[in-house]
Amino acid sequence: MSPLGGKLTHYGAGLGSAPRPLNSMMTCQLTKLETALDQLKKAYPQLVPADAALLASALTLTGRHAIALYEGEQYVWPEDNEKLMRAMVPQVKITQEAIESNAPKRASKTAVEEEPVLMNVGLMPNLTAGENLLQGRDDLKTILSDILQEGVEFVYAPNDLGWQWALDRVNWTTIAGQEISKRVKSKTAFTEGAVGVEMNAGAKKRPSTKKSAAADVVADIDVPDEV
């Protein structure tokens, strides 16, 4: 499998994917499909409107259905939902132990005590999800492959991402088989194959794109690296 969640194959000349200018990363706003459509029309003027719209939808799917990267494994949403949750249980338990060991002696509901502790999950574009929408259109698959290879910036709200939506709703107490603090949260961010820009309360927050982001923990809590 390629680093973009699918085999980057050139299916033939077709319409021909005219190369974009160097360093011309395309922006795809997952909450507003028109942004990707406008850029596609400018970058590939040879596309008829219907094909441009279809390609914009496919590009959006590569972001919405981004593949999760966790401890060297890849997880496809929603098929691998339970598989990823189970894989995260050891870290959930370690994080819970760290919260308990760092808890203040006097119980008080301060802002610090309610601050979430994040477990980070990487993401990469899911080329296969986009290609599935382009069945029978090898020419458009070639363009989609080229776009992802040249670089995409996904702009999104948290719930635009399938994995973030799922992780926000998981009941860790049930899955882990023990009481887990509500402070234990999960955070997804693009770490391979694309840049991610999260829209938060009207402001854009650019998450780290380094692989080391998967080891970050918020709230000054020392979490052991091993179980």
pLDDT tens digits, 74-99 = 999 999 999 999 999 999 999 999 99
Backbone torsions φ then ψ of 199, nearest 5 degrees:
-90, 120
Please give the mean pLDDT across all residues of the chain: 82
Of the pLDDT bands very low, low, confident and very high (cuts 50, 70, 90), residue 177 is very high
Backbone torsions φ then ψ of 22, nearest 5 degrees:
-60, 145
Quick one: tokens of 136? 């029978």
Of the pLDDT bands very low, low, confident and very high (cuts 50, 70, 90), residue 104 is confident
**Greater pLDDT, 125 or 6:** 125
Instruction: Determine whether 34 is exposed, middle or buried from the number of CB atoms within 10 Å of its CB (0-12, 13-18, 19+).
Output: exposed
CA distance 21 to 43: 9
**Greater pLDDT, 9 or 145:** 145
Give mean pLDDT, residues 108-131.
Answer: 85
Quick one: tokens of 147? 């776009």
Q: Where are the domains of the chain?
A: 26-215
Quick one: tokens of 52? 């441009």
With 70 as the cut, is the pLDDT of residue 109 above it? no
In this structure, are residues 125 and 194 in contact, taking their beta carbons and an 8 Å threshold? yes
With 60 as the cut, is the pLDDT of residue 146 above it? yes
Give mean pLDDT, residues 32-37.
Answer: 91
Helix-helix angle 49-64:33-43, to 10 degrees? 130
With 90 as the cut, is the pLDDT of residue 190 above it? yes
- SS3 call for 157: coil
